[in-house]
Amino acid sequence: MNGAGARVAVVLFNLGGPDDQDSVRPFLENLFSDPAIITLPWLLRRPLAAAIARLRTRWAKANYALMGGGSPLLPQTLAQRQALEAALSIRMPGQEVRAFTAMRYWRPTTGQAAEAVRSFAPDEIVLLPLYPQFSTTTTASSLKAWRAVYAGPGRCRAVCCWYDDEALARAHADSIQSIWELAGKPAVRLLFSAHGLPRSVASSGDPYQWQVEATCAKVAALLPGDWDWRVCYQSRVGPMRWIGPSTPEAIGQAAADGVGVLIDPIAFVSEHIETLVELDRDYRRLAEAAGVPTYLRAPTLRTAPIFIEGLADLVVSALERSGDQPGARGCPGNLRRCGRRPGRVDHAV
């Protein structure tokens, strides 16, 4: 790490979300235009993305209207950025540390973030995706987009995954325990709900599902007592087969078993449409209709102090290494699309 006076840029990546009703459709077009999402040649992918966005816009606008018209993801990410800057200013006295935000599918775009970092002229850059678990559809896509546009100064390192980070697990365990105690410690099954992934992607060697389930096991091990817990996946769309079990299926099983549920959004670090609408409205209604006796949902981590300190640890650790490295142990050898595999165009190591 450079000494006193060094300028350090930390780039926080997330998918982004529409600011208002007018930006819903272009956000969706950007999302479905990503080759990591729809793996077709550009001449086929672009019109297909436009058609999907057109079909989903009315539904999406109605759901974003429930949150005030747009997504809360950006303001919450900006709050995380501010909290991380404050934590790093204490950990790295004498160095000028500035954090930046790069959203994959909306503003501030990766290009806008790259220009802001270039103007800052850093000596060191740490790329920190706010996706704890690596996937080719999230982390790899974001890092590849960055490397395609950034041409400024600074020695660059990336943290490709941090799924088994101790602070991440502890923050989730504390959140789960708190919401359960506030509810009076009811009899519940803990459902770790992560965003789903098509089976075709998972079977290609993408490590996302393995990393999600490793995170869940680590969190469960930190919870006092003997918790009944399961892993499930939400947000399934389209006719293709997705990894499972789905969160609705897990809720249905809890109803059949006569137990309540406490849902923890294990792969999300900020609130957005998948938590505030899908979990809090749609799945709550599903649970009530199925006769689930208790329905609880743990909040996302946002700016929980232990979580922010964990992010600061990841940044400091990255700066102490000679090159890009993951902030977690490696994946099994069969997961060939792991972010630390050398020789890949979009690899983060």
- What tokens does 146 get? 């960055």
Instruction: Report the SS3 class of residue 102.
Output: strand
Weakest-pLDDT range from 137-141, 163-167, 335-339: 335-339
- The band of 115, judged by pLDDT with boundaries at 50, 70 and 90, is very high
pLDDT in tens, 5-48: 899 999 999 999 999 999 999 999 999 999 999 989 999 999 99
DSSP string across 295-333: EEEPPP-TT-HHHHHHHHHHHHHHHTSSS---SSPPPPT
- The band of 341, judged by pLDDT with boundaries at 50, 70 and 90, is low
Structural domain boundaries of the chain? 21-65, 166-297
Contacts of 105 (CB under 8 A, 6+ apart): 15, 16, 27, 30, 31, 34
- The band of 1, judged by pLDDT with boundaries at 50, 70 and 90, is very low
The C-alpha atoms of residue 171 and residue 300 are separated, in whole angstroms, by: 10
Nearest CA among 51, 53, 48 for reference residue 35 = 48
Weakest-pLDDT range from 193-197, 202-206, 323-327: 323-327
Residue 242 has pLDDT above 80, yes or no: yes
The C-alpha atoms of residue 276 and residue 273 are separated, in whole angstroms, by: 5
Is the full-model pTM beyond 0.85? yes
Average pLDDT of the residues of the chain: 93
Residue 296 has pLDDT above 70, yes or no: yes
- Res 346: pLDDT: 37
b (16+ CB within 10 A) / e for 308-320: bbbbbbbbbebbe
Percent of the chain with pLDDT over 70: 94
Residue 324 has pLDDT above 80, yes or no: no
- Res 215: pLDDT: 98
Strands (E), 213-294: 229-234, 260-264
Q: Which one-letter amino acid corresponds to residue 266?
A: I
- Res 111: pLDDT: 98
Nearest CA among 47, 67, 331, 349 for reference residue 205 = 331
Is 141:339 a contact under the CB 8 Å cutoff? no
Q: Which residue is listed with tokens 């969190």?
A: 219
Given this structure, which CATH class describes domain 166-297? Answer: alpha beta
pLDDT in tens, 49-74: 999 999 999 999 999 999 999 999 99
Q: Which one-letter amino acid corresponds to residue 201?
A: V
Instruction: Report the SS3 class of residue 43.
Output: helix
Continuous H helices in 154-283: 166-182, 199-202, 208-222, 247-257, 273
Is 20:61 a contact under the CB 8 Å cutoff? no
Top pLDDT among 337 and 79 is at: 79
Sign of the Cα pseudo-torsion (333, 334, 340, 345, in order): positive
User: What's the longest Cα–Cα distance across the chain?
Assistant: 61
- The band of 342, judged by pLDDT with boundaries at 50, 70 and 90, is very low
Nearest CA among 10, 74, 140, 1 for reference residue 273 = 74
Work out the number of other CB atoms within 10 angstroms of the CB of residue 192.
27
First-last CA distance in the chain:
18
- The band of 328, judged by pLDDT with boundaries at 50, 70 and 90, is low
Q: Which helix (H) or strand (E) holds 57?
A: helix 42-65
Residue 344 has pLDDT above 60, yes or no: no
The C-alpha atoms of residue 25 and residue 18 are separated, in whole angstroms, by: 8
Is 232:244 a contact under the CB 8 Å cutoff? yes
Nearest CA among 193, 195, 268 for reference residue 236 = 195
- The band of 2, judged by pLDDT with boundaries at 50, 70 and 90, is low
The C-alpha atoms of residue 5 and residue 322 are separated, in whole angstroms, by: 19
pLDDT in tens, 129-164: 999 999 999 999 999 999 999 999 999 999 989 999
Instruction: Report the SS3 class of residue 151.
Output: coil
